[in-house]
Structure 1
């Protein structure tokens, strides 16, 4: 009988060692997974900020949703992706971008937003960016430029 309990004890010890080894691997991978997932969710809004800072329309349009609410002092509407690109090109050609400074940015339920000041050759615009998560990607749904 003692021999039987020794065999069971040996099996449990091997199982615990294997489980401890798997847990160690998981514990090492968990911070990497968390870091990667937080980086992915922040990438889009940061790319938008870089594009605004340089007035890069093509970089902005890459994040446009199928339709986007675009508001400038001259025009305000819900545009298709291609229409919004034309309106934005027109806005940036008339207002050469000098810089963009973030006032506030945040995240709520997978959506990201940013409020900042866009300094241009013609003045300063309070700028609001709203992005929504869909299918694992962030899409720009609203972009507003208001005179200050």
Structure 2
């Protein structure tokens, strides 16, 4: 009888680590896979360096969201493969994905920096994947 009392707590301890494993790199990868520019913009810093194919500029958070929304409309995402992740620093993270869309494959890289206690994207690059 006493052992069953702690069963819910034990089950909770097994579930918690699996939930907290998804860091910002993985969350961003999932949002890119969904083509969700609006939710992705929540990770943007106030200004962000964006390169999409041959267009490169520094944009405000709102401008970057609009540009990314346009890219996703023209290139509907189907799969994402996390190729590379650097999250050994508490201040900087870096991720590289292969994004497969209806029109082809793209290499997506992004840099996150800790700003006011939160990881924010300061750079996003989307390039044609060279196979």
In 2, Cα distance between equivalents of 1:108 and 1:71: 25
Aligned partner (choices 114, 122, 128) of residue 133 of structure 1: 114
Are residue 64 (structure 1) and residue 64 (structure 2) matched? no
Bigger fraction of residues in helix: 1
Which structure has the higher relative contact order (CA within 8 Å, separation 6+)?
A: 2
Greater strand fraction, Structure 1 or Structure 2: 2
Q: TM-score scaled by structure 2?
A: 0.78
Structure 1 residue 75: deviation in Å? 2.1
Larger radius of gyration: 1
Aligned to 1:44: 24
What TM-score results when the alignment is normalised by the length of structure 1?
0.69
Q: Unaligned regions of 5+ residues in structure 2, if any? A: 1-12
Structure 1 segments of 4+ aligned residues over 4 angstroms from their partners = none
Matches within 5 A, 1:70-89: 70-89=50-69
3-state SS of paired residue (1:109): coil
Distance in 1 (alpha carbons) for counterparts of 2:78 and 2:54: 20
| RMSD value, Cα | 1.9
Which consecutive unaligned segments of at least 5 residues does structure 1 have? 1-31
Tell me the CA shift for residue 76 of structure 1: 1.4
Aligned length: 112
